[in-house]
Amino acid sequence: MSIKQSAGGPHFWRKACTACGCSTVDHAPGNDLDDDQLMGRLLADSPCSHLTAKVKGGGGLRMYKRNRMIVTNPVVSRKDPTFNTTTYDWAPAGLNQKLAMQYMELFPPSQHTVSGTDGALQRRRQLLTQLPAYDQDPMKCKIHPDLQSQT
């Protein structure tokens, strides 16, 4: 029996899926809470700690204060006033809506972090690639059992 036949899919110790060859980041489900905890740990002891908040009963755990932005534009072509709203999963902190929109316009539309779009998913994938969970939490560092027995 070859290795390919016995290995069926993503393994927790590999960076790539053996079944389809894609990154394990592509198999990871989206979870804002985990992302916010990761960023909170990263920023806790930095000059940017004002972007985090302490969790009540969390024993010093800090969470990233995600800056979401909702843009509302009136539609004037109808008799009744209606509004188009766009929700961004992430926007730069400390900016008013006008400056934040100018910042977002610098990116191609495919990279805008609008909720539920490929741009928002791409941002999350980039975060998981740049800040892997095992770099922040030693308990998430998993070693293949065969390698562990050799040490």
| pLDDT confidence of residue 1 | 39
Is position 125 within any domain? yes
What are all long-range contacts of 79-83, with beta carbons under 8 Å and residues at least 24 apart?
A: none
Side-chain half-sphere CA neighbours of 128 within 13 A: 18
User: Are 55 and 37 within 8 A, CB to CB?
Assistant: no
* pLDDT at site 28: 58
Quick one: pLDDT at residue 110?
A: 93
Residue 151 lies in a domain: no
| Global pTM value | 0.63
* pLDDT for position 91: 85
Torsion of CA 47, 138, 144, 8, to 10 degrees: -60
How many angstroms separate the Cα of 4 from the Cα of each of 18, 19, 22, 39, 138? 8, 8, 15, 37, 30
Round to whole Å and give the CA distance between 21 and 24. 9
- Distance, CA of 55 to CA of 41 (rounded, Å): 12
Task: Report d(CA 95, CA 64) in Å as an integer.
Answer: 17
Residue 129 lies inside a defined structural domain of this protein: yes
Instruction: Output the pLDDT for position 5.
Output: 45
Interacting residues of 45 by C-beta distance below 8 A, sequence separation 6+: none
Answer whether residue 30 is part of any domain: yes
**Structural domain for 73, as ranges:** 13-134
Within a domain: residue 143? no
Is residue 142, in this structure, part of any structural domain at all?
no
One-letter amino acid identity for 89? D
Q: What is the secondary structure of 62-80 as a DSSP string?
A: EEE----EEEEEEE-SSSS
Residue 114, domain member (yes or no)? yes
Give me the number of domains the chain comprises: 1
6 inside domain: no
**Integer Cα distance of 44 and 47 in angstroms:** 8
Residue 65's pLDDT is 83
Per-residue pLDDT of the chain (151 residues; tens, 9 = 90+): 344 444 455 455 556 666 676 766 666 556 777 778 888 888 888 888 888 888 888 778 888 888 788 888 777 776 777 888 888 888 888 888 889 889 889 999 999 989 888 888 888 888 877 877 667 666 666 665 655 555 5
